[in-house]
Structure 1
């Protein structure tokens, strides 16, 4: 399964932020929880409508976005 099957952008939900399909859970929220030290199991316990694959899709999406990011230094 790829992140494209689980992550969607809908301009009518959360002002178009990427979300987990069928939810109102923003990818950035899930990634932030993990970054703050939450385990995947803790996320799944607290948000029991999510699956392990949803969390993995959030991380894969974040990785894809970061890979495509370009930084241009200015003097």
Structure 2
């Protein structure tokens, strides 16, 4: 999945927050759910416009960036 299929940023959508492409769901909401102890499935049920593929790809992309910064 290409980055532009996973996340996007547009000043006209949610005041420029990073959102899952094709939705108005900020990626920050996924992180908040996970840090609160919610499962990925709960997040996906709460925000059905986000696909599982997008959510997993975002987490993988974030992990790659974190790994690169530590290395």
Give me the CA root mean square deviation. Answer: 2.2
Offset from partner CA, 1:17-57 (integer Å, 9 cap, x none): 11011110001111111111110111112222221112113
TM-score, reference length from structure 1:
0.70
Runs of 5+ consecutive residues of structure 2 not aligned to the other structure: none
Higher helix share: 2
Runs of 5+ consecutive residues of structure 1 not aligned to the other structure: 70-75
TM-score, reference length from structure 2:
0.74
List 4+ stretches of structure 1 deviating above 6 A. Answer: none
Matched ranges for 1:28-47 at <5 A: 28-47=28-47
Summarize the Cα distance change of 1:51–1:37 in structure 2 as closer, same or farther, 3 Å threshold: same
Asked which structure has the greater CA Rg, the reply is 1
- Structure 2 equivalent of residue 15 of structure 1: 15
Which protein has greater RCO, CA pairs closer than 8 Å, 6+ apart?
A: 1
Distance in 2 (CA, whole Å) between partners of 1:15 and 1:65 is 24
